[in-house]
Structure 1
Amino acid sequence: MFTRPVLSDFAAVVREAARSALPPITPVARGEGLVLSFAQQRLWFLAQMEGVSQAYHMPMGLRLDGVLNHQALRYALDRIVARHESLRTRFVMRDGVPLQHIADAHSGFALQEYDLRGHETAEAELERLTGEEAGAPFDLEQGPLIRGRLLRLAEQEHVLLVTTHHIVSDGWSQGILVNEFSALYNACRAGEEDPLPPLAIQYADYAAWQRRWVSGEVLQAQSAYWQQTLTTLFMTLLAGWAALLSRLSGQHDLVIGTPMANRTRAEVEPLIGLFLNTLALRIDLSGSPSTADLLQRVKAQALEAQQHQDLPFEQVVEIVNPPRSLAHSPLFQVTFTWNNNEAGELKMPGLVLEPIGSPQVTAQFTMSLLLGEQDAVIGGGLAYATTLFERDTVERMLDYLRRILDAMVKQEYTPIEHLVLLGNAERERLLVEWNATQAEYPDRSCIHELIEARAAASPDTVALEHGGTEVSYAELNARANRLARHLRKQGVSPDTRVAICMTRGIDMVVGLLAVWKAGGAYVPLDPAYPPERLSFMLKDSAPVAVLMHAWIGEQTQYTLLAAAGFAPILDIEADAMRWNEEMQDNLPRSETGAGPEHLAYVIYTSGSTGQPKGVMVAHRGVGNLAQAQIEGFGIDADSRVLQFASFSFDACVSEIVTTLVRGATLVLPASETVLAGEVLAEVLEREGITHVTLPPVVLAGLPEEAQLETVRTLVMAGEASNAALVRRFGHNRRLLNAYGPTGIECGAGAAFRPQPAFAQCLWPDRNHGVRDDAGVRPAKRAGAGDWASDCQHPDLSARRAWSAGAAGGRRRDPYRRRAGGTRLSEPRCIDGRALCCRPVQQ
């Protein structure tokens, strides 16, 4: 009627359906070779693969208050089992093929009775037995596959529990069971004969008919539809319910499983058995459809699928042949069930009846939404895999569902992606409370000025240690001042760049500090980089001078000479005599003109998605980072911080700046030392390192006996941590999991948690999940020093930046929030390539 509203067209369809009518279902001979239906075969196969599972148990419970006729109850249950062969069926193997074996009609109902009268904790025992009954495993080969327990709590108070396995029943069948039980109980109680009419066929007859029928032209016609519709599916989708999960997942091609009663023939309507069939509905949400557009798409897809519903789901799976996994069902992992089955009318004179809910302990799918209508109110529930989702996440999803349904009713022509999901309270929490990171910090100082203040306060404190050599803060400051004055004569001024190509050591730190004091920004170059990368970085950053060591290698020196253009190349050791006579006093800001808004450094990205990009960061942002990490990492004047990261990585900025701004000691191992395994463990112990930042993969490579006894703060960065590392190294120290995109500033997030997570903002930065329609989607960070840009294209970068009350940078780093605000990262992909693959745990 929906597809043919014109009467003549509808009549034509009816005539065509009559011509293609299926043959009637007739009884087959009872023997040892009764075949399984396709649905039974699927559940039998799952039982062989997965073993005992409670996912396909169908428990019911009923509290009976009043005078119970025990004889009538047993008669009703036994008669139902005798009436329905499906309830007497077990499944056996014959020559490698599963077959139905039907027990004698007088086998009876397996009912256990418990007397809880006088039990001190009767209600607690009732709860225990209810859960035990619902979860007790079935043996498909031995049977029985329907059973029950009758619990007597008082003289006139009973509880009846009945559990069937899904392989012999479905939702419709439970309504039949209730109706027949009521009729048989009341007849026996009144001394009357069985009032139910005999069944013309049994479930085994239907299974044999289905096997014969699903093999001809109709199979070929319907299988062609499913092949055309589903063969291009990507079985990585874990979403459903069209509009809602498309919004939450960002996916626009969804497959939703929808169970159908499949009782299209009159002769099977009174049977108890597994007739349920599941339709896989593929829904297209591409092109930003409105509510009206989406409703038309869903309607067309549902009607077309229903025209092909006679083909069992199990056959659809075989035809489409998707990739298989024991972790989830094929074709879809999310279902939607509209429950319009007859619940059955239970009347037992003399008794007050109250349904008892049974716990569902195993989910059949990743998520299953069940809705139904009762008394003009739509209600239901959401079953979910607890290994994948937390309860508060699912409760929020139900809130979103209610909100999006309400919006769809009111905004018929609004694009689905623009419908608001968040309530006012959640928006406030997400955008304000979880980003309340404002704090006071020295935003009017440059980094070198903070270090100068430390040198003045503690001149004799050891600032650097390298290979047995110690350098005090006073000496470090003086050496950097002399070099800075020489760099000024080479044309260094605010926002000009000076390339530094050195290995780890004291001169490396002196060089970068001198560049800052001269008013410039340093560009770190790793001597181990290929000549092509070094040449590109030099040409792209256009430095006014280059600092180097002679021992970086002839090939590297040649590359510097060829790519530096007219910039002078200074050997910081061999040419030192040229500036050793310079004044060692600090250069005032009035002389250099550099302030916190000027450039501090340029670090190049890996270039994994194209050419490396020079990311420019100002002094204000580095100062914010230093103050936040000093507090968050617990660095004090007695701390000894290991300089681990490569000079060309932004993590190196954190190690150097936080240490020197706080007045602690930075330990620089020899450049030729490979900091890994036993060597790293020895360095940490020998040097008495108290603070260290390491990638999880390096941590995992430490010897088992390594205890890291001197380490007070351990920061894991560069990739996601895991529970094993947390358990191993999380005791008796501060353990953090830090994250910070180079494109904004290093180390901007850190999670103070005993389990793997993403990042909690280090003040005063803010992290938003935003999208153009004021919903929630990929990450945005805004903070004090966001100079994220191509070194040679600052104007273009400025246009890309956008504001949220402060300077801000847009990131495509997807993440999810836990209920408490902590974020979990997800892989970031560009052009289909994952840039950072961090496992998401929820």
Structure 2
Amino acid sequence: MTPEEKRARLAQLLKDKTRPAGKQAPLSFAQERMWFLDKWSPGSAAFHMPTAVRLSGTVDTAALGRALALLVERHETLRTTFQERDGQAMQIIAATGEVPLEVMDLQGLPESEREEEAQRRVVRLAQQPFSLEQGPLLRAVLMLLGGGEQVLLVDQHHIVSDGWSMGVLVHELAMTYRACLEGQPPPLNALPLQYADWAVWQKDWLQGAELERQLTYWKGRLNPHALLELPADKPRPALMSSKGARKVMHLSSPLTQALKALGQREGRTLFVTLLSAFNVLLSRYTGQEDVVVGTPIAGRPRAEVEGLIGLFVNMLALRTDLSGKPSFRELMGRVHESTLDAYAHQDIPFERLVDALKPERHLSHTPMFQVMFVLQNAPMPALEAPGLVMEAKPVDTGTTKYDLSLLLVDLPQGLRVIAEYSTDLFEPATAERLLAHYQTLLEAIVVQPDVSISRLPLLPDTERHRVLQEWNDTTVAHPPEATLTSLIEAQVARTPDAVALEFEGTRLTYRELDARANQLAHALRKHGVGPEVRVGLCVERSLEMVVGLLGTLKAGGAYVPLDPGYPQERLGWMLEDARPPVLLVQERLLSRLPATDAKVVALDTGWEAIAREPTTAPAPLATPDSLAYIIFTSGSTGRPKGAMNAHGPVCNRLLWMQSAYRLTPADVVLQKTPFSFDVSVWEFFWPLMTGAKLVVAKPGGHQDPAYLTALITSASVTTLHFVPSMLQAFLEEPDVAGCTSLKRVVCSGEALPLELKEQCLRMLPGAGLHNLYGPTEAAVDVTFHACQPNDGRRSVPIGRPVDNTQIRILDAELQPVPQGAAGELYIGGVQVGRGYLARPSLTAERFIPDPYATAPGARMYRTGDVARWLPDGEVEYLGRADFQVKIRGLRIELGEIEASLEKHPSVKQAVVLAREDRPGQKRLVAYVTGRDAAPEAGALRAFLLERLPEYMVPSNVVVLERMPLSPNGKADRKALPAPELGGADPSRPFVAPGTAIEQQIAQAWKDLLHVERVGLDDPFFELGGNSLLALQLHRRLTAELGVKLALTDLFQYPTVRALATRLSRREEQPSEDAAQSGRSRAEARRTVNRRAVGGRGRAETTDGDADE
């Protein structure tokens, strides 16, 4: 329907007055949403529309009261209440109504306190609940301050008002007050219709073909789209409250005029210009190129309804594609077109749209959009009355409906910009920074509209200096000529007779260990080992392992760990790449290695020959630049890749660790990490360069918590490392409380859960917990964080950079991201490794020139990790930017597993995901399609076990008939089912309700949803439920089951099984559940807004000053 046709239909309404006779009427679509929200969260101030009017001069309170009464008589909405009639909510319109003008005299207070007290009372009154059933839904309070100063608070419930309506109300109140003073009738034209007439017309018009036309557009426009995940300062609650706050910024008049001029040159409105910039800001904050922002639209298609007070406003979801690195000028064009299209389809109520699109429901998020944008370019009309100067201002009730709302008001002196934010998520400083970034962006676009949006500056100079220089000021002078061998040999000279090494009851002093390593070094020198010569080492954890490592380094060579537990094929690839001329082995493990041309030296059966070599140290050949080791990590091509590290970077890492944690000769360090992983580097060498004792765990012992607790206790271990998943298992060991010798527990390898941190500090009170982060490619660890109990953080940070190391958090254009925004983590400084062995192209891709370094030729390593800066200069890890994951602390390229699966003759295509279907339980899941016959899951796992380490073999293999594809033809990873839904048919299996309560719930669903069957695990909303139906279901189940049922329960427990279980527990624990219900209701005040009638979104601005 064209706008002209729509206006004609409304004009016909003016003639016909189709509303049925009587004083009740159906609710409009928007009112249905508000009715639901009030039932969900009774009395929430989030749905109030308060305005404070400053009155300077003499006020005639009697005339003001009469003016208010005349407005109540004029507008039916001001004397409307809402009640259920025959199970249906209706507008009840009283023939007459009274809204008394309450007067509060504050003149008895000291003059210095009156203004502050008035502000407190305004906020308190604005938060007082309305009763939709009893009314009135308008309150007016006049506060007398003395000296001719007054404040008039006018507040309405959103169900009968919107921002435009508040302007109408205040303007007409001023005109009517003036008329009352003059003894004249108000100069207002008679209203051609009332809001209830319009509600009837809306229900009649928006159906059938017109409804389908608009729904078709929006389905195509919004299905599907991702949540906008702004990085938050606090963990997102499962149920968001409506608590909010505001920060305000004023843009100068010159900047405001420049923005208007830019839009005029391009034929774009100020709204489009400002929204385009906001979209850029959101994209740069989140890294997302598909952004959906909500904006209110007045919803008044004809002049005849412009003077009505009522809830007309509607919400539009404006989706913007920021991909392809467009210039800002090009982006303005995209936003212009999408906005025009949305306006052409603006009539469908937001609540109906959510009903139709059925977005995935999260009680912690609003549907469709999580951020709102509002531009008010027509300020509150001027208010005039004899003897009075009147100024209307919105009231901040301390509430919000969305994660973030940006409200702009175009004033003569320049734009006022308000960031309204959820205090559940954000700190005030974050909102202030966001406004500063928005201003920096706006200042850039007026002079650089043709620059790519990815290159536009966001950071003010002070913040740029902070994240690039101040937080990376890590310069420390360590001995420039240090090598691993020189540091250890210096310690041998200091404490030759102290115990250096212990394994299974056998001990070696520093002198004895040094002597054996020297003998091996001499033997290796005879085999040509020296600087840059690689030595393979295939041994189990033992004394021989430590001697082999030290001997190789003393010879000047670089060791290459070859884990005997790896499949022979993988070991073959590693040998093929490393080409070591010498292999150090234990004789019993030789059969596990593929055939090789390398000289094989057995450290056990062949030691007799090695023992003939001198025990004195060979002349040192290695320098800080010499290669120290090559550790192979998972590779995306299906082959592992060898990361090369030299002595200098590793020594920097170890010297930092000693300065930070201060090992002494009294310390005992447990070495338990497989030597094929980089954590083993510091476990081996840190204690040996500081005079501490190194205790080596038996082979396989690192996976046995009972063994570890016993070893820690018997050996008085003070320092050890865990990946978090193993730390969890260790803490569950019954004897862990006996590990009182522990002083330091170091965690790295994967994200450290907050709960696990607290548990560790609680169960091991004598031990400090340290969270470290770093890739193999940058000498083990590059950041550190000392954990503190109950520190109020949302997660455990990975901390600050170590000595002589820099952390860059950059966007795709290698520009620093704002503090708090997500970006990719890059590592600069002395610990950046050489690169990958025999992989020049991959090395060039991951080790790139460092644009922020002062040293010529400096490189930085691209980690693929996503992180952000915290306000205190620490770094928070957020996840992976690619398909590389960590399981049990071990880094895995999913592509390597996929490549291995696709080598199986029965597999056509394979996709591997790291799923966390249960919190803290991350696992690998493989999805495969077959060629001729369906592959057998067990056979595929056995096939992988022959080719990959056990930790890389998926715990589940799901066989699919076909792989879901995204629009670009690639596998749609987000559409892959959870493993329990896998198999030939990934659809949900039907499970019939069994118990009496399950059958009653299912029957209620069938009756309300008009479906033939309901399974135990069918979600209510997926079957067609919406918020209005949820209200009916709530009433029915409460009556039929005779139990206390909170409306929030239907959203928190959306399946028959979950709800039945919840109700059964409630019957057993009524008092506890009643208390929980009260807490849920209080916590859900904001969530209400998102789950409203069919839709959970608010069709209005957050205050009365910014509706358009």
TM-score by length of 1: 0.90
Q: Which residue of 2 aligns with 1:760?
A: 800
Aligned AA (1:395): E
The residue correspondences of 1:564-583 to structure 2 (distance < 5 A) are 565-583=596-614
Q: Is this contact kept in 2: 1:83–1:105, CA < 8 A?
A: no
Deviation at 1:60, TM superposition (A): 1.9
The C-alpha deviation readout for 1:420-467, integer Å capped at 9, x for no partner, is 222322222222222111111123122011101100111122222333
Aligned AA (2:77): S
| Distance in structure 2 (CA, Å) of the matches to 1:585 and 1:680 | 36
Q: Is this contact kept in 1: 2:538–2:584, CA < 8 A?
A: yes
Q: Which residue of 2 aligns with 1:86?
A: 77
Aligned AA (2:126): A
Q: Which residue of 2 aligns with 1:792?
A: 838
Q: 1:134 aligns with which of 115, 126, 140?
A: 126
Q: Which residue of 2 aligns with 1:738?
A: 772
Q: Which residue of 1 aligns with 2:181?
A: 189
| Distance in structure 2 (CA, Å) of the matches to 1:654 and 1:360 | 55
Q: 1:751 aligns with which of 785, 792, 800?
A: 785
Q: Which residue of 2 aligns with 1:68?
A: 59
Aligned AA (1:655): E
| Distance in structure 2 (CA, Å) of the matches to 1:40 and 1:379 | 30
Q: Give the alignment's Cα RMSD to 1 decimal.
A: 3.1
Q: Is this contact kept in 1: 2:377–2:409, CA < 8 A?
A: yes
Deviation at 1:375, TM superposition (A): 0.8
Q: Which residue of 2 aligns with 1:478?
A: 515
Q: 2:190 aligns with which of 198, 206, 214?
A: 198
**Partner SS for 1:811:** strand
**Partner SS for 2:832:** coil
Change (3 A) 1:720 1:833: closer
After alignment, is 466-475 or 682-691 more displaced? Answer: 682-691
Does structure 1 residue 534 correspond to structure 2 residue 534?
Answer: no
The residue correspondences of 1:254-265 to structure 2 (distance < 5 A) are 254-265=291-302
Q: 1:219 aligns with which of 201, 211, 219?
A: 211
| Distance in structure 1 (CA, Å) of the matches to 2:627 and 2:446 | 52
After alignment, is 676-685 or 763-772 more displaced? Answer: 676-685
| Distance in structure 2 (CA, Å) of the matches to 1:250 and 1:110 | 52
Q: 1:405 aligns with which of 437, 442, 456?
A: 442
**Partner SS for 2:742:** coil
| Distance in structure 2 (CA, Å) of the matches to 1:158 and 1:354 | 11
Q: Is this contact kept in 1: 2:295–2:318, CA < 8 A?
A: yes
Deviation at 1:215, TM superposition (A): 0.6
Gaps of 5+ in 2: 232-274, 818-822, 893-913, 921-1108
Q: Is this contact kept in 1: 2:379–2:409, CA < 8 A?
A: no
Q: Which residue of 2 aligns with 1:386?
A: 423
Change (3 A) 1:85 1:697: farther
Q: Which residue of 1 aligns with 2:479?
A: 442
**Partner SS for 1:743:** helix
Deviation at 1:517, TM superposition (A): 0.7
Percent identity for Structure 1 against Structure 2: 38
| Distance in structure 2 (CA, Å) of the matches to 1:640 and 1:609 | 41
After alignment, is 115-124 or 261-270 more displaced? Answer: 115-124
Q: Which residue of 1 aligns with 2:499?
A: 462
Change (3 A) 1:36 1:385: same
| Distance in structure 2 (CA, Å) of the matches to 1:113 and 1:82 | 25
After alignment, is 816-825 or 144-153 more displaced? Answer: 144-153
Q: Is this contact kept in 2: 1:417–1:773, CA < 8 A?
A: no
Does structure 1 residue 558 correspond to structure 2 residue 591?
Answer: yes
Change (3 A) 1:226 1:451: same
Deviation at 1:398, TM superposition (A): 1.7
Q: Is this contact kept in 1: 2:668–2:693, CA < 8 A?
A: yes
| Distance in structure 2 (CA, Å) of the matches to 1:277 and 1:832 | 43
Deviation at 1:146, TM superposition (A): 2.6
Q: 1:231 aligns with which of 223, 241, 246?
A: 223
**Partner SS for 1:324:** coil
Change (3 A) 1:516 1:131: same
Deviation at 1:317, TM superposition (A): 2.3
Q: Which residue of 2 aligns with 1:611?
A: 639
Q: Which residue of 2 aligns with 1:108?
A: 99
| Distance in structure 1 (CA, Å) of the matches to 2:142 and 2:714 | 71
The residue correspondences of 1:6-45 to structure 2 (distance < 5 A) are 23-25=12-14, 26=17, 28-29=19-20, 31=22, 34-45=25-36
Q: 2:742 aligns with which of 686, 692, 711?
A: 711
| Distance in structure 1 (CA, Å) of the matches to 2:784 and 2:637 | 26
Change (3 A) 1:349 1:637: farther
Change (3 A) 1:18 1:808: closer
**Partner SS for 1:662:** coil
Aligned AA (1:769): I
**Partner SS for 2:865:** coil
| Distance in structure 1 (CA, Å) of the matches to 2:826 and 2:712 | 37
**Partner SS for 1:417:** coil
Aligned AA (1:302): T
Deviation at 1:516, TM superposition (A): 0.5
Aligned AA (2:837): C
List 4+ stretches of structure 1 deviating above 6 A: 13-22, 832-840
The C-alpha deviation readout for 1:477-526, integer Å capped at 9, x for no partner, is 11111112122223322222222223333222111111101111112233
| Distance in structure 1 (CA, Å) of the matches to 2:557 and 2:703 | 31
Q: Is this contact kept in 2: 1:238–1:332, CA < 8 A?
A: no
After alignment, is 605-614 or 399-408 more displaced? Answer: 605-614
Aligned AA (2:288): Q
Does structure 1 residue 663 correspond to structure 2 residue 686?
Answer: no
Deviation at 1:110, TM superposition (A): 7.6
Q: Which residue of 1 aligns with 2:809?
A: 769
Gaps of 5+ in 1: 1-12
Q: 1:643 aligns with which of 667, 671, 675?
A: 671
The residue correspondences of 1:174-323 to structure 2 (distance < 5 A) are 174-236=166-228, 241-323=278-360
Q: 1:587 aligns with which of 611, 615, 618?
A: 618
Q: 2:365 aligns with which of 328, 332, 335?
A: 328
**Partner SS for 1:442:** coil
Change (3 A) 1:684 1:35: farther
The residue correspondences of 1:41-56 to structure 2 (distance < 5 A) are 41-49=32-40, 53-56=44-47
| Distance in structure 1 (CA, Å) of the matches to 2:40 and 2:563 | 54
Aligned AA (1:653): V
After alignment, is 424-433 or 127-136 more displaced? Answer: 127-136
Change (3 A) 1:205 1:18: closer
After alignment, is 387-396 or 770-779 more displaced? Answer: 770-779
Q: Is this contact kept in 1: 2:44–2:129, CA < 8 A?
A: yes
Aligned AA (1:268): V
Change (3 A) 1:103 1:537: farther
Q: Which residue of 1 aligns with 2:680?
A: 652
After alignment, is 78-87 or 519-528 more displaced? Answer: 78-87
Q: Which residue of 1 aligns with 2:265?
A: none
Q: 1:822 aligns with which of 871, 874, 878?
A: 874
Q: Is this contact kept in 1: 2:518–2:618, CA < 8 A?
A: yes
Q: Which residue of 1 aligns with 2:950?
A: none
Deviation at 1:374, TM superposition (A): 1.1
| Distance in structure 2 (CA, Å) of the matches to 1:622 and 1:192 | 90
After alignment, is 374-383 or 698-707 more displaced? Answer: 698-707
Q: Is this contact kept in 2: 1:90–1:141, CA < 8 A?
A: yes
Q: Is this contact kept in 2: 1:114–1:152, CA < 8 A?
A: yes
TM-score by length of 2: 0.69
| Distance in structure 2 (CA, Å) of the matches to 1:796 and 1:227 | 42
Q: Which residue of 1 aligns with 2:1030?
A: none
